[in-house]
């Protein structure tokens, strides 16, 4: 039977519940269990796909094309699990399904209510992850205990655990133990109160995971155990990690969190071997070959979460190249105000990531041009690739007003235009070209060299594409189309061999990079940045 772990949060949001869930999943996986992860979000959007990155951070895209919460990115990066549409449910999606069913007569004769109909639908969503090939489902409940909007989720997990019994389900409560500087003390009261809230709705946590800035003293653990009704050894400390989020599972393993979970669920405790994970963390934290600086020129820069997977992928690629990647975060509108040179001079690589809408576009295009003209390694992703094509059209092919029809419908040169399949689509939610599609790389290109393969599959999220009417003209000027959809219709990767490293892709490689297996294109980009750094250094030395 599939066992369930329910992860709730207490006191404040942003405690890193997702990282905790992902870390627990990694440990269980390393003990030989097959794990799936799931996030339940209490908001009313059916999925986060329609939200601004400023509201929600990055929208993470799964293999099967679901637009989901960014915590799923942590799940996939920490474990070997592919998340799917079933890995993320929102209140909006649950209600939408229940209301659709009501209109179809699925509840004929009944009054449809939060309890039992919404809670039943939530339980069904959780149980949809069960299977003969799944030992554990870890379900993270978004929000904080005490929120009005997460109540139906909490009631559903309370019922579910009651139904499956305590040897088949556990409650893990991630809570905050703040340090109050003025008093010089750590305080357990907020956690006691948040457990009190859970208790009042019938949930008694089995394990407390305490987020803290400083180590928890035994005295704090005793207090938490006594007042929160948990066994002493089930009070786990999760102190802020010093260097890398990938240290979290190591810290939890040191306290035997996974052993306690397995024992409570009466499961066999196999061997745990984390040597390769430790080695990876060590490489990330203490790289041999110094630092490279890469600029990320985006339009949502002020929110760190908006480019979560991009930043993580750069970190992974740094590990593979044994360097630290320092990111210079550049707001593309700022490039429009003060010019590319002022903001980008001295970087070893420039990455332009995805985005929507015309704000800041000219700044992105200027950043591409700066990279192209100065021989700085350039990596364009989705909108970044589209900007690269616009720059190439304008500056190299002499198409002065080249643009994307997303930003100017009347441009005489729509080098990027709406995909034919999108022209009659008017609804916004879940309607882009989404999820994994195969791509064929041209042998002998930079892209093929990076992947070491010509048949690849990558995840997508876009409405616009390279306009094939301009293919010949751009190829004649030296742009190489190195990746195409298998039918040859959709341009997936372009590169510019006249430049040290200039690769841009329509898909989102950042969704498939993990710390144990960095993404080939990110790896190649960072390797090129290292080369550039060393070249600039040796030129300087010669000049001196």
Catalytic residues: 382, 508, 510
Question: How many C-alpha atoms does 223 have within 13 Å on its Cβ side?
Answer: 15
Query: What is the distance between the alpha carbons of residues 208 and 222, in angstroms, rounded to a whole number?
Result: 12
Burial class (CB in 10 A: 0-12, 13-18, 19+), 316: buried
The residue nearest ligand GLN at its CB is 354
Binding to ligand GLN by residue 211, rule CB under 6 A? Answer: no
**In this chain, which of 461, 499, 519, 533 binds ligand GLN, going by CB under 6 A?**
461
Binding to ligand GLN by residue 48, rule CB under 6 A? Answer: no
Between 355 and 483, CB nearer to ligand GLN: 355
Tell me which stretch binds ligand GLN (CB under 6 A): 340-348, 351-359, 365-373, 447-455.
Answer: 351-359
- Residue 250: count of CB within 10 angstroms of its CB: 17
Residues in the interface with ligand GLN (CB under 6 A) total 10
Determine contact, residues 154/40, Cβ cutoff 8 Å.
no
Query: What is the distance between the alpha carbons of residues 516 and 511, in angstroms, rounded to a whole number?
Result: 14
Between 247 and 406, CB nearer to ligand GLN: 406
Tell me which stretch binds ligand GLN (CB under 6 A): 289-297, 353-361, 368-376, 392-400.
Answer: 353-361
Between 359 and 471, CB nearer to ligand GLN: 359
Q: Which long-range contacts does 275-282 make (Cβ < 8 Å, 24+ apart)?
A: 276/516, 277/26, 277/30, 277/246, 277/249, 277/250, 277/516, 278/250, 280/246, 280/319, 280/515, 280/516, 281/244, 281/246, 281/247, 281/250, 281/515
**In this chain, which of 355, 380, 483, 524 binds ligand GLN, going by CB under 6 A?**
355
The CA-atom distances, in angstroms, between 543 and each of 166, 494, 530, 536, 540 are 71, 35, 20, 10, 5
Binding to ligand GLN by residue 129, rule CB under 6 A? Answer: no
The radius of gyration computed from the CA coordinates of the chain, to the nearest angstrom, equals 25
Between 354 and 524, CB nearer to ligand GLN: 354
Between 107 and 356, CB nearer to ligand GLN: 356
From the CB of 418, what's the least distance to ligand GLN, in Å?
8
**In this chain, which of 158, 173, 364, 462 binds ligand GLN, going by CB under 6 A?**
462
Tell me which stretch binds ligand GLN (CB under 6 A): 75-83, 240-248, 263-271, 354-362.
Answer: 354-362
Query: What is the distance between the alpha carbons of residues 16 and 251, in angstroms, rounded to a whole number?
Result: 14
**In this chain, which of 69, 238, 258, 406 binds ligand GLN, going by CB under 6 A?**
406
Taking alpha carbons only, the member of 360, 359, 378 closest to residue 368 is: 378
Binding to ligand GLN by residue 407, rule CB under 6 A? Answer: no
**In this chain, which of 383, 390, 494, 505 binds ligand GLN, going by CB under 6 A?**
383
Residues within the interface to ligand GLN (CB under 6 A): 354-356, 382-383, 406, 461-464
């Amino acid at each position: 039977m599939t066992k369930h772990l329910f992860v709730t949060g207490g006191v404040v949001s942003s405690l890193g519940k997702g990282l905790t869930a992902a870390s627990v999943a990694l440990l269980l996986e390393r003990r030989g269990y097959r794990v799936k992860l799931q996030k339940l979000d209490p908001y009313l959007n059916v999925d986060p796909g329609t939200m601004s990155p400023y509201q929600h951070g990055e929208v993470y895209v799964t293999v099967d094309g679901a637009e989901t919460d960014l915590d799923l990115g942590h799940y996939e990066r920490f474990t070997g699990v592919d998340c799917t549409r079933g890995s993320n449910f929102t209140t909006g999606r649950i209600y939408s399904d229940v209301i659709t069913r009501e209109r179809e007569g699925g509840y004929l004769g009944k009054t449809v209510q939060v309890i039992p109909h919404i809670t039943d639908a939530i339980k069904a969503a959780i149980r949809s992850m069960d299977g003969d090939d799944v030992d554990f489902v870890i379900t993270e409940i978004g929000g904080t205990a005490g929120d009005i909007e997460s109540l139906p989720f909490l009631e559903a997990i309370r019922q579910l655990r009651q139904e499956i019994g305590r040897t088949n389900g556990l409650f893990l409560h991630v809570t905050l133990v703040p340090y109050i500087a003025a008093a010089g003390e750590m305080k357990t009261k907020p956690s006691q109160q948040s457990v009190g809230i859970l208790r009042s709705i019938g949930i008694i946590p089995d394990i407390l995971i305490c987020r803290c800035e400083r180590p928890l003293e035994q005295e704090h653990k005793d207090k938490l155990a006594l007042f929160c009704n948990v066994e002493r050894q089930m009070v786990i400390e999760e102190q802020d990690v010093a260097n890398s989020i990938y240290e979290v599972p190591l810290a939890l393993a040191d306290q035997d969190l996974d052993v306690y979970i397995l024992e409570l669920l009466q499961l066999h405790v196999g061997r745990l071997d984390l040597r390769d994970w430790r080695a990876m963390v060590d490489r990330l934290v203490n790289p041999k070959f110094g630092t490279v600086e890469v600029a990320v020129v985006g339009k949502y820069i002020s929110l760190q979460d908006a480019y979560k997977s991009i930043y993580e992928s750069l970190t992974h690629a740094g590990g593979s190249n044994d360097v630290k990647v320092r990111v210079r975060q550049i707001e593309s509108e700022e490039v429009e105000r003060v010019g590319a040179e002022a903001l980008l001079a001295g970087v070893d690589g420039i990455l332009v990531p995805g985005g929507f809408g015309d704000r800041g576009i000219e700044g992105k295009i200027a950043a591409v041009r700066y990279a192209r003209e100065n021989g700085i390694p350039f990596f364009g992703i989705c909108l970044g690739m589209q900007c690269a094509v616009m720059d190439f059209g304008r500056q190299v092919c002499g198409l002065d007003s080249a643009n994307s029809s997303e930003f100017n419908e009347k441009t005489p040169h729509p080098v990027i235009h709406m995909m034919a399949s999108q022209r009659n689509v008017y609804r916004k939610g879940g309607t882009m070209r989404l999820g994994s599609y195969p791509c064929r790389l041209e042998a002998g290109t930079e892209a093929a060299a990076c992947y070491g393969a010509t048949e690849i599959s990558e995840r997508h999220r876009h409405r616009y594409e390279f306009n094939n009417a301009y293919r010949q003209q751009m190829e004649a000027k030296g742009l190489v189309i190195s990746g195409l959809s298998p039918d040859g219709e959709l341009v997936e990767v372009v590169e510019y061999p006249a430049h040290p490293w200039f690769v841009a892709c329509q898909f989102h490689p950042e969704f498939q990079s993990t710390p144990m297996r960095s993404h080939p294109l990110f790896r190649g980009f960072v390797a090129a940045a290292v080369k550039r750094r060393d070249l600039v250094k040796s030129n300087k030395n010669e000049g001196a």
